[in-house]
Structure 1
Amino acid sequence: MTAERHGRIRVRVEGLVQGVGFRPFVSTLAGTHDLAGFVGNDPEGVFIEAQGEPSALRAFVADLERRAPPLALVEHVAVTDTEVVTEVVAGTGFRIVASRGEGVRQVFVPPDTPPCESCAAETIDPAARRHGYAFTNCTACGPRFTIITDLPYDRRNTTMAGFGMCPRCSREYLDPADRRFHAQPVCCPACGPSLRLLGADGRPAPGDPVGTAALWLAQGGILAVKGVGGFHLAAVAGDERAVSTLRARKHREGKPFAVLAADLAAARELVLLTPGAEDVLAGPRRPVVLLPRRPGGPVAASVAPGNRELGVLLPPTPLHLLLAVRLGVPAVLTSGNRSDEPIAHRDEDALERLSGLADGFLTHDRPIHVRADDSVVRVFRGRELPVRRSRGYVPVPLLLRRPPARHVLACGGELKNTFCLVKGRHAILSQHIGDLEGYETLRSYTEGIGHLSRLFGVRPRLVAHDPHPEYLSTKYAFGLDDVDLVGVQHHHAHIASCLADNGEEGPVIGVALDGLGLGDDGTLWGGELLVAGLRGFERAGHLEALPMPGGAAAVRQPWRMGVAYLDAIYGDAPPDLPFVRRHRERWAAVAALARTGTNAPLTSSAGRLFDAVAAIAGLRDRVSFEGQAAIELEQLADPDERGGYPAALTSGRELVLSGADLVRGAVEDLLAGAAGPLVSARFHNGLARVLVRAVLAVRERTGLRDAALSGGVFQNVVLLERVVSGLEAAGLRVLVHSRVPPNDGGLSLGQAAVAAALDADG
């Protein structure tokens, strides 16, 4: 024993520091600085006690954040106690101690991550101990959010609790030099979960599950495959018959399917990897990435009909990697559900709900505690533009500028629903729930709120909701007891979501373009210019309001909006277009609805304007999924066309942008024989230009020089690029989405940000 003057510190580390290899990192780091002590988990994060030379302690604390593991997100490092120790036993070492269960829950749960390079290589290496093992993982990868049942993050609090480690896995788990040091889901074929292949009748099939599954797929079969957050339905992407069968069984008429590629080389045969796209595709979130299709790629026409883009993803789990390698060709991979239902994530549920859709089930005995669908992104200027935020992203929190006084729940909207919890500065956005139109989805919604609230210790006292009284999310809010409610106008929530996405508070000139949202005047808004901050907004302008003949039927049947626009422009003398001739028998009746306002609510919706142009141009009279006509119109646009239809901008208390002028321009070109790509491009360009003019007019009135773009229409990268370029050329700073979707999937974050700001102000 040597008597030296040493220091002793207690350290608290908060943030995303559990399930990311942080304790092993701390243990190794302490060794490099020759420190003694211990590290452990508790509900608040990671606690550390360390002793050693004062200079080594200072360097150790600095390295905790500077050299943290790649998956960690260190938000706060606090040295809470310091004392002088004069007697230190040399060589006492540094150890990982048992987790503590007491404390206020401050820790955050990591998302599920795909196999790292080392685990992927090990999984397909014939010489490796885990060759062919579908559950290979380490501290840098593997399931997290979907298997966690409680905190702190220890094996006993995951669905791996029922799988005891074998001696070899235990040695890896306890070896500081091993990459599986304290990896909670560590396992191998001798002690971990196992695969099984079931026939359509639920009976086990003989042979190697992955090999037989690949054979079934190659023979034209459709399989349900259990992923990390739920089941996928898979078929060979190049097999037109199999893909068409899957589409028919799932009643998915035209919505594109995603395609699984084994690696980047295989992905390059399918799509053109644009700048930034490769990093997103192969990154730790492993989303479906929508990219330009490579001509002649090995996919059937029915995978993404009428679409110049293809959604591609790389294997999100070792099981998908094994299946992709064994199959040797790209496979369709789509959510394991029937239309408008949540993804199936329990075996018994999948066998019941996917019966008749799948010819077999490739499943396993590791339970999924929380369902999480695939995330979907586009790439805009080298950055992610989320379309659906779920697996790989959730539940990493976003930081708000100021914390509310109380815990907040934001209930989201009706379509593409998510909810959001706020605790302190942390906004925890849920995984994609879906459209709240059925019992199963509503149950998933309520269960999700309960689970995340328990997991993070949130007891909402302030509840934000959309003002639309018929949204099930609004009804849920009004059914809660002992809470204060705050309604947040739909398009204000969109702009607030963009502000929160960018860490801003405003005010800004907000452009909110989407399908529908209830406006303050009782009409249906959707093409809005707002002067907005987190604490309020004013409507500065909008697209001119037109009737929606048939109400909700006009959303499902875009031709009705075509009639409404042409009747507003031409009255009883509509132009001699194929569109008009096609609907001549029903024209008078639908026009009469528009003129009288009977079952024809007024709307300023940009989405409905896109629907009208798509229908008039002959693209689509009916849609099988939300936004289909607008998506196809974007896909049609000629990227080299720079002409645009002129549109009037009328000044007044509120600016009014003429959508009818854009439709008139399209009609004149169609009558002159112009092709669809030119018409679509000129429509996009004309809309972008009048939006830019309107924003500049608001700038002149207010002096604001920041703009924020949000709403589902801004998933359209053709329009987005033209609006952003126009505004930037005029000297404005433009905020766009990069972490949450501009569509209604980001609505709950905006509601939460508004409620938090108001609560912070008292």
Structure 2
Amino acid sequence: MSAPGQTLAAKHTRLRLRVRGAVQGVGFRPYVHGLATRYRLGGFVANDADGVVIEVEGEEVAEFVEALPQQTPPLARIDDIAVEPMVADSCTGFRIAESVGGRVTTRIVPDAATCAACLAELFDPTSRFHLYPFVNCTHCGPRFTIAERLPYDRATTAMKRFPMCEACRADYEDPSGRRFHAEAISCARCGPRLSHGVDEVAAALAEGKIVAIKGLGGYQLLCDCSRDDVVQRLRARKQRDGKPFAVMLASADAAADLAEIDAPARALLEQVARPIVLLRSRHHVAPSVAPGLAKIGVMLPVAPLHHLIFHALAARGGAAGERGWALVCTSANPSGEPLLTDNDEALAALADIADLIVTHDRDIVIRADDSVVAMVAGGPRFIRRARGYVPEPIRLARSMPPILAVGAHLKATVTVTRGDEAFVSQHIGDLDTAQAVRFFEETIRHLTSILDVEPVAIAHDMHPDMASTRFAQGRGLPMVPVQHHHAHAASVIAEHGVAGPALGLVLDGYGYGSDGGAWGGELLLCDGAGFRRLGHLAPLKMPGGDRAAREPWRMAAALLHDIGRGGDIASCFAGQPQARHLPMLLDRADTPVTTSAGRLFDAVAGLLGVSMVQSYEGEAAMKLEALVREPAVLARGWTVIEGVLSLRPLLAHLAARDLDAVEAAGLFHGTLAAACVDWVADASRATGIGTVVLSGGCFLNAHLAEQIVRGCRAAGLDALLPRQLPVNDGGLSLGQAWVAGLQITQQGLTSGGFV
């Protein structure tokens, strides 16, 4: 951020300041108004396409300039302040002027949880916002999810259909209040209304019913998480077999009875973004909430409606006991489809899932699911980045041409670059259905619209059959294919501003390789827009192809075949009807192979009997991780030959010994991590490169990530994990955009392609 010195201000009694950053919809203009009034200055402040423009005149302009960045509103973020002298015109008084249009270079802030002041009003019988489920101010409430375009004014949001009453208008125009130009302001007289009363919602939940409510970014499903029969009923209706549910509690103190919460975890829970935080469970919820897992997703109330529901439940007492109520809180959508936002669609789609559906008449312009974070390797890491964080940009080390990157197929996001900023969209999900693809396209339209960006090229995955690739093919723009694992590594490079070449250790489930193969355990050398594959995990056969990714016992059979024990497959997996046919399939030369780290986790989980068939992606690996008490290392448990890392000695040890699953899981995690450190250290010595970026979904595994980071640093390497984006495919689009931007900058671009 640049800021003017007092020398310039002292020479001129009128200055124009242009403030860039997250400065619209956060109470920044009222803040400037109050500051200018304090220093007895004339002039004005207005939103414009770049952010906020300020003109101040008077004897204390220097003091104003110095104070401006010091005590900004809670949601404001200043990137830059540019100052130029003006000719004084002897103006008196300071005003908030009308917004100025133009090509947008500013941004909007994410949605924010209810602030303490609004929460106090919500339960104050003397307040006109008493028990009003849409109370908000410039410090909290919806932003991104109700914004149609910028500049951020009421007329460009979903609130434009609600004319302000006299009292709200007075608050809106009062420079001394925190609702001065609060664009989403409303009250019970003039604002949105719920379709059902909060007491009715609480009564339904207390009776063990499933309730759908319209949240900030989409509909949510709630039920009592202490009753296993209720949770199982929700699973059956939502067609969600074993994938864990998040739990919402009224406060961090209440959450401490359900999960282990230290100071960093509490700080995460209480962030204004209110993410779901993965914490070690105390197993005080119904077993069906997170079956077979050691951690539970915990979140606190986000919107006033959530607070009101807990308040009404507390008044009822009942089954919750001394701990207070805890509710399953999950996205309200049929399995495999995007989050619902439209009232009519929700009423139709949720009729067979929810016993009560609570709508309201404030539109959700763009859907945004709850964000999910976890403490991994000493810091918070995203598992899913959406509501509360999007659309905060990633600051890049260099300016880029305007690129649209469309991500991959699973956990899809898109990225739009604008100058030295990269805007990564909210989590979209898997592009398996027509509805998901429509949401994907809707997200692209909304993001490019609010940023006022026209892309010059589209970056995409190399896989020819992905829905995102097909989208890129139909846009009439130059296309930049980026290899999946190169994009993973490049995402971390872009986020951290790594200068020069870096090693990339990418461990995930699947990515289309440059040779058309199924990659997933890769050691890369990344340099600028290019990369070189230095090595990979030893290939393992995938009997049945993609089916092996859903059935870990098949990968376990491949493991046995690989270590020379193919004759044991039928007896080891006697409960699987196809087991006796697999040895013949594994003997065939045309059986697909993979270098995937994710499939290696599956193989070990299947071998140990932890998971034979997966009901959701990553289930086997998550259950294997949940068993680990203390990682251990098997001496000489791996080999590295010509860049190929083989864990065959470890796998043979696990298959031959009568180890219990806990001991075996610890040995697998510790040995795999040590092997990866050895592998990377060898590559560092050979190349002279001391920076390694770590990416891919396997790094969501806290034991693996922490052991590898610690080992790399002990070896003198600078090991980097992403901080602002998910390590899984949710961060992939940023890497695509970074690689494409470098290619375009280096090679030049014509209307027909690269030259």
- For the aligned pair, the TM-score class normalised by the smaller chain equals over 0.9
Secondary structure of 1:341 counterpart: coil
Give, in whole Å, the separation in 1 of the partners of 2:140 and 2:717. 41
Q: Secondary structure at the match of 2:188?
A: coil
The correspondence of residues 610-625 of structure 1 with structure 2, limited to 5 A, is 610-625=601-616
Partner SS state of residue 631, structure 1: helix
Question: Which of 511, 529, 539 pairs up with 1:535?
Answer: 529
Matching of residue 76 in structure 1 with residue 71 in structure 2: no
CA distance in 1, matches of 2:295, 2:151: 42
Contact map agreement 1:645 1:666 (CA 8 A) in 2: no
Take 1:196 and 1:478, find their aligned partners in 2: how far apart are those partners? 44
SS at match of 1:582: coil
Deviations 1:637-684 (A, max 9, x none): 123x534364332332xx111133332122133xx2x22111101000
Cα offset for 1:124? 2.3
Return the alpha-carbon distance in structure 2 between the equivalents of residues 398 and 284 of structure 1.
19
Amino acid at match of 2:619: Q
**2:604 maps to 1:604:** no
Does 1:99 find its partner at 2:99?
yes
Corresponding residue number in structure 2 for 1:62: 66
Residue 575 of structure 1: how far off its partner (Å): 7.5
- In the TM superposition, 1:585-734 aligns within 5 A as 585-598=577-590, 600-639=591-630, 641-644=631-634, 646-652=636-642, 655-669=643-657, 672=658, 674-734=659-719
Please tell me whether the aligned partners of residues 567 and 583 of structure 2 are also in contact (alpha carbons under 8 angstroms). Answer: no
Name the counterpart of 1:500.
494
Unaligned runs of 5+ in 2: 1-9, 315-324, 749-755
* Separation in 2, partners of 1:715, 1:685: 15
Could you tell me which residue of structure 2 aligns to residue 174 of structure 1? 173
Q: Is the 8 A contact 1:547 1:597 kept in 2?
A: no
Aligned to 1:276: 264
For 1:327-346, list aligned pairs within 5 A. Answer: 327-328=313-314, 329-346=325-342
Q: Secondary structure at the match of 1:402?
A: strand
Partner of 1:113: 112
> Which segment drifts farther, 33-42 or 691-700?
33-42
Q: Which has the larger displacement, 66-75 or 252-261?
A: 66-75
Partner of 2:27: 21
Aligned positions, number:
728
In 2, are the aligned partners of 1:402 and 1:756 still within 8 Å (CA)?
Answer: no
Post-superposition CA distance 1:200-239 (Å, at most 9, x none): xxxxxxxxx1111110011010011100000001101111
Instruction: Give, as a single letter, the amino acid of the residue that structure 2 aligns with 1:60.
Output: F
Match of 1:42 in 2: 48
Q: Which amino acid is the alignment partner of residue 595 of structure 1?
A: D
Give the aligned partner of residue 459 of structure 2.
Answer: 464
1:379-398 matches, cutoff 5 A: 379-398=375-394
Partner secondary structure for residue 278 of structure 1: helix
Q: TM-score w.r.t. structure 1 length?
A: 0.93
Matched-pair contact (CA < 8 Å) for 1:148–1:159: yes
| Alpha carbons 1:142, 1:317 under 8 Å: kept | yes
- Given residue 344 of structure 1, which amino acid in structure 2 is its aligned partner? L
Corresponding position: 1:399 with 2:401: no
**Cα distance in 1, alignment partners of residues 356 and 442 from structure 2:** 29
Alignment partner, residue 355 of structure 1: 351
Shift of 1:452: 1.1
Cα distance in 2, alignment partners of residues 127 and 294 from structure 1: 40
Q: Give the letter aligned to residue 88 of structure 1.
A: S
AA in 1 matched with 2:610:
L
Q: 1:305 aligns with which of 291, 294, 298?
A: 291
Q: State the partner residue of 1:444.
A: 439
> Structure 1: which 5+ runs fail to align?
198-208
Q: Which residue of 1 aligns with 2:249?
A: 261
Distance 1:94 1:555 in 2: 65
Matched, 1:364 2:360: yes
Structure 2 CA distance, aligned partners of 1:472 and 1:303? 32
What is the aligned partner in structure 2 of residue 202 from structure 1?
Answer: none
8 Å Cα contact 1:706-1:733 kept in structure 2: yes
**AA paired with 2:607?**
I
CA change 1:168–1:235 in 2 (3 A) is same
User: Normalising to structure 2: TM-score of the pair?
Assistant: 0.94
The yes-or-no answer on 1:228 pairing with 2:216 is yes
Aligned to 2:557: 563
For 1:620 and 1:6, locate their aligned partners in 2 and report how far apart those are by CA, in whole Å.
Answer: 72
Match of 1:582 among 554, 557, 575: 575
Q: Which residue is 2:158 aligned to?
A: 159
Asked whether the 8 Å contact 1:147–1:158 carries over to 2, the reply is yes
Following the alignment from structure 1 to structure 2, what is the Cα–Cα distance between the partners of residues 435 and 34?
A: 56
Deviates more, 1:323-332 or 1:609-618: 323-332
- Partner of residue 190, structure 1: 189
Partners of 2:223 and 2:230 within 8 A in 1: yes
Question: Which amino acid letter does the alignment assign opposite residue 56 of structure 2?
Answer: A
Amino acid at match of 1:684: H
C-alpha deviation, 1:534, in angstroms: 4.1
TM-aligned CA distance change 1:100 to 1:417, over 3 Å: same
> 1:702-727: per-residue Cα shift (whole Å, max 9, x none)?
11111111000000001001111111
- Deviation of 1:275 after TM superposition, in Å, equals 4.1
1:172·1:181 contact (CA, 8 Å) conserved in 2? Answer: yes
Does the 8 Å CA contact 1:261/1:330 hold for their aligned counterparts? yes
Structure 2 residue 507 is the aligned partner of structure 1 residue 510: no
Shift of 1:759: 2.4
CA distance in 1, matches of 2:463, 2:537: 21
On the 8 A contact 2:639/2:647 being kept in 1, the answer is no
Give the aligned partner of residue 410 of structure 1.
405
CA distance in 2, matches of 1:702, 1:382: 28
SS in structure 2 at match of 1:105: coil
| Cα contact 2:350–2:357 (8 A) shared by 1 | no
SS where residue 152 of structure 1 aligns?
Answer: coil
| C-alpha distance in structure 2 between counterparts of 1:259 and 1:386, whole Å | 18
Question: C-alpha offsets along residues 37-84 of structure 1, whole Å, 9 cap, x if unaligned?
Answer: 00011222111111112xx2233223333332221121121113433x
CA drift of 1:363 comes to: 1.7
Letter in 2 for 1:472: A
CA distance in 2: counterparts of 1:43 and 1:82, whole angstroms: 21
Question: 2:737 matched to which residue of 1?
Answer: 752
Structure 2 CA distance for partners of 1:642 and 1:274, relative to 1, 3 Å: farther
- Give the drift of 1:695: 0.6
**Could you say what secondary structure the match of 1:19 adopts?**
coil
SS in 2 for 1:65: coil
Whole-Å Cα distance in 1 between the matches of residues 425 and 525 of structure 2?
28
- How far, CA to CA, are the matches of 1:187 and 1:38 in structure 2? 26
Alignment correspondent of 1:545: 539
Which residue identity lines up with residue 662 of structure 1 in the other structure?
A: L
Closer, same or farther: CA 565–333 of 1 in aligned 2, 3 Å: same
Q: Which amino acid in the other structure matches residue 724 of structure 1?
A: V
User: C-alpha root-mean-square deviation of aligned residues, in Å?
Assistant: 1.7
CA distance in 1, matches of 2:637, 2:412: 34
* Distance across 2 between alignment mates of 1:69 and 1:120: 18
Question: How far 1:190 moved relative to its partner?
Answer: 1.4
- 2:68 aligns to what SS in structure 1? helix
Query: 2:553–2:573: 8 Å Cα contact kept in structure 1?
Result: no
Q: Is the contact between residue 645 and residue 682 of structure 1 (CA under 8 Å) also seen in structure 2? A: no
Alpha-carbon distance between aligned partners in 1 of 2:396 and 2:326, rounded to the nearest angstrom: 41
Q: What is the aligned-residue identity percentage?
A: 44
Instruction: Work out the CA distance in 1 between the residues paired with 2:156 and 2:640.
Output: 61
Alignment match, 2:420 = 425
Contact 2:332 2:340 (8 Å CA) reproduced: yes
Using the alignment, how far apart are the partners of 1:642 and 1:49 within structure 2?
64
